[in-house]
Amino acid sequence: MKSILAILGGMNIAPDAVSDLVKMIEQKKETHALKKDETPWADAVEGWLSTQTSKETRRKYKRRIWQFYDWVTKNRHEVVVVGDVTREDAEEYVKFLETEFPSASTKKNYFWCVKSMFSHQKENSGQQNGQQPVINPFYKVREPKAGRKDRQTTKKKHEVLVRREVDAIIANAHSDDAKAFLTLLYFFALRNAEACRIEGRHLQYVYGEGNKEHIILSGLQVKGKEGDNIIGEGHIVQRKVYQKRAIDVLAPYCGTDGFLFTGSRGKDHIGVRTGFNWVKRAAIAAEIRKYATVVKSKDGGERQKDTTHVSPHWLRHACASVLRHNGASIESISEFLGHASVKITHVYLHADPEMSAKTDY
């Protein structure tokens, strides 16, 4: 601080301006010196995060909330408590999201994450000590708008994978574990988080019923809310697979001890990000929906990198579309996928009729 004052003293700057600048620097230092756990938001954030069941979800939502906290603190030039956030702050944050993030889904994810935290705080504040509840500043505030580029991207993401593309993705898996992981996602229509924490005891190889070999999946715990398209706490719907190409891949994993896919330390299951990367890597190797993007290199320049729109959930959607194409009823598909409502299943059945007629499922 003394060095800054010495520099300013040698310049033709009014003393009042120097004083204001010093105050602003001190205030900024004080604001950023606070650790997240020591801020007025710590209890509110932890209380809200405790309602989320997934460890990965809590970690992601925590980043979103603290990003909003940093934005409010910087925008208001002061440390703000949860109850002091206004509707004007919420509307300004929406404008910030619209200019900062190109993806429509990212904008909405940040928006609904922060809004959910304030809704939880409003419901729980003042219940024990009789205080007036915190007002949700995001109530009736419009969510971020999607531009033309966002709508085009969303449309592309809703294309369905056909069988030859799925086979190519699975065939290009970089390891046996990755191949088994992709097979589970597609043939059992699992979500990414479910496939990551599956254990050997959940898979049973059966040879019978008219000399037909098959694999049964049962007993996998699923936690979540019906509104999140996940069954409530309990066991996943029992699923059977008779396809030989799936049995050949998964048979060695049936009945094994512990998690099928362990992390780098070998103690816990892999994370959802690892599963996401396995799918991306296989899709790029198979050149399915691949495109080039520009990223920053370590030396500060730019370079091209291959990526793909394909994600683990695409394989689940592809399974639903194949079942429908082969004549399965909406109700049976909904039960197989474990949906709480048939309305959710209709979202999965988005295959273009012309594509279905021209392409081999």
Query: Per-residue confidence of the chain (361 residues) as pLDDT tens digits?
Result: 444 554 555 555 566 665 666 666 665 555 444 455 566 778 778 888 887 766 777 888 888 888 888 888 888 877 777 778 888 888 888 888 888 877 777 888 888 888 888 888 877 765 544 555 567 888 888 888 765 444 444 444 456 788 889 999 999 999 999 999 999 999 988 888 888 888 888 888 888 666 678 888 877 765 443 333 333 344 456 788 888 889 999 989 998 888 889 887 666 888 888 999 999 999 999 988 877 776 677 777 777 777 788 889 889 888 888 888 888 888 888 888 877 778 878 877 754 444 444 344 4
Structural domain includes residue 11: no
DSSP code per residue over 2-60: HHHHHHHHTS---HHHHHHHHHHHHHHHHHHHS-GGGSTTHHHHHHHHTT---HHHHHH
Both 234 and 308 in one domain: the answer is yes
pLDDT of residue 302: 73
CA dist list (Å): 249 to 91, 185, 187, 253, 337: 52, 13, 11, 8, 21
pLDDT of residue 138: 84
Structural domain includes residue 2: no
Both 117 and 174 in one domain: the answer is no
Expressed as residue numbers, the domain containing 322 is 163-358
CB 186 within 8 A of CB 162: no
Closest by CA to 243, choosing from 358, 357, 326, 329, is 326
CA gap 91, 100 in Å, rounded: 14
Structural domain includes residue 10: no
Both 314 and 171 in one domain: the answer is yes
Both 304 and 208 in one domain: the answer is yes
Both 74 and 206 in one domain: the answer is no
Both 100 and 167 in one domain: the answer is no
Both 78 and 167 in one domain: the answer is no
β-pairing verdict for 212-217 and 221-222: unpaired
pLDDT of residue 326: 85
Structural domain includes residue 6: no
Domain boundary, last residue among 124, 154, 184 = 154
Both 278 and 321 in one domain: the answer is yes
Q: How many domains does one find in the chain?
A: 2
Structural domain includes residue 261: yes
